[in-house]
Amino acid sequence: MFIGAHMSSPLSTVPERTVKIGGNTFQIFSHSPRIWKISVNESEREKFKSEMKVWNIDANKVLVHASYLINLASPKDEVWQRSKALLKEEMKIAHLLGLKYVNVHPGSKLKESLEWGLKRCAQAIKEVHDDSPKDVTLILEIVAPKGGNIGYNFEQLQKIKDIAKVDLKFTYDTCHGFDGGYDITTKRGMEDLVNEIKATIGMKNLLMCHLNDSKYPLGSAKDRHERIGRGYIGIKGFLNFFSFEEFQKIPLILETPGKDEEHAQDILTVRKIFSQLGINNTK
Ligand SMILES: [Zn+2]
Ligand SMILES: [Zn+2]
């Protein structure tokens, strides 16, 4: 299994801290996610790359999460232009770090129509894709249906890909999905989820999973992550989720509250769930 957490900076400490919390993969921000300007620290980057080798972490399982400022569906032209420019920068940084995947939210269309938002996002994705290093792939993350967000189901995510006509991959976030009504706590809910993925993006294009419990009940659209087993998905819910083999092998990235210590506990919780299901959960 591949498991890890969203790790705080400094970047060069992330590979070692990942192993210390019992993980073998991770997610990072490549720069401060709440400011537009990117500051470059070359020695830190080089150290990060050598630490990846020292701790034997597979770059193909690692995610870079794009800045929260980016809104690829924004109706405001200035925000849209700056978003595309920043995402292009992030693709370049990922390349310089030796990483392969940049995870981004489809964005918010605000008061525009859904169709308009999907097209706007797709156009931005195409521009970013065409102007980025070819060894870095964009990954669209399913989001919670709040604040004009687009991309809260797989049909919308596939439409963006269809319009953009580029090679896009996808991340499932268990909290966002739960917010949008995907009930992964029942067998029927999981069958529906898997069938929907197969009928839209295709299982092979679902590359990553953000593993979060939810502070609010099914369909709440609140986007409030909770520690594994302490929310409305719960241990029983995750037991059901992981009984579907489609979700046993893709990298699982925690975005749960807390720091390294809490993440270590959550990773242990997930390993116990795998053990209970009789799945080999060694690294
Ligand atoms: Zn995200
Ligand atoms: Zn997420």
* Nearest alpha-carbon partner for 148 in 68, 217, 69, 75: 75
Specify the pLDDT at position 20: 98
Residues, Cβ < 5 Å to ion ligand 1? 141
Ligand nearest to the CA of 103: 1
Q: How far does the centroid of ligand 1 lie from the alpha carbon of residue 159, in Å?
A: 19
pLDDT bin (cut points 50, 70, 90) of residue 32 is confident
Structurally, at CATH architecture level, domain 3-276 sits in: Alpha-Beta Barrel (3.20)
Q: How far does the centroid of ligand 2 lie from the alpha carbon of residue 256, in Å?
A: 9
pLDDT bin (cut points 50, 70, 90) of residue 183 is very high
Q: How far does the centroid of ligand 2 lie from the alpha carbon of residue 133, in Å?
A: 24
Q: Which residues pair with 171 in a beta bridge?
A: 141, 208
Q: 231-259, pLDDT tens digit by residue? A: 999 999 999 999 999 999 999 999 999 99
Q: How far does the centroid of ligand 1 lie from the alpha carbon of residue 2, in Å?
A: 18
Specify the pLDDT at position 218: 98
Q: How far does the centroid of ligand 1 lie from the alpha carbon of residue 98, in Å?
A: 21
Q: 131-181, pLDDT tens digit by residue? A: 999 999 999 999 999 999 999 999 999 999 999 999 999 999 999 999 999
* Nearest alpha-carbon partner for 163 in 218, 137, 124: 124
Q: How far does the centroid of ligand 1 lie from the alpha carbon of residue 67, in Å?
A: 9
Specify the pLDDT at position 34: 87
User: What is the amino acid identity at position 157?
Assistant: L
Specify the higher pLDDT residue, 39 or 232.
232
Ligand nearest to the CA of 214: 2
Query: What's the whole-number average pLDDT of the chain?
Result: 97
Q: How far does the centroid of ligand 1 lie from the alpha carbon of residue 278, in Å?
A: 30
Q: How far does the centroid of ligand 2 lie from the alpha carbon of residue 4, in Å?
A: 13
Report percent pLDDT > 90 for the chain.
Answer: 94
Specify the pLDDT at position 37: 86
Specify the pLDDT at position 280: 75
Q: How far does the centroid of ligand 2 lie from the alpha carbon of residue 173, in Å?
A: 5
Ligand nearest to the CA of 107: 1
Q: How far does the centroid of ligand 2 lie from the alpha carbon of residue 101, in Å?
A: 14
Q: Is the pLDDT of residue 49 over 70?
A: yes
CA 123 – CA 91 distance, rounded (Å) = 17
Residue ranges per structural domain of the chain: 3-276
Q: How far does the centroid of ligand 1 lie from the alpha carbon of residue 239, in Å?
A: 23
Q: How far does the centroid of ligand 2 lie from the alpha carbon of residue 212, in Å?
A: 8
Which pair of tokens denotes residue 191? 């069958």
CA 59 – CA 49 distance, rounded (Å) = 10
Q: Is the pLDDT of residue 65 over 70?
A: yes
Q: How far does the centroid of ligand 1 lie from the alpha carbon of residue 65, in Å?
A: 7
Which pair of tokens denotes residue 260? 């390294």
- Tokens 């150290």 belong to which residue? 47
Ligand nearest to the CA of 67: 1
Cis peptide before 10 (omega within 30 of 0): yes
Specify the pLDDT at position 283: 54
pLDDT bin (cut points 50, 70, 90) of residue 41 is confident
Whole-Å CA distances, 128 to 32, 88, 107, 135, 168: 20, 6, 14, 13, 12
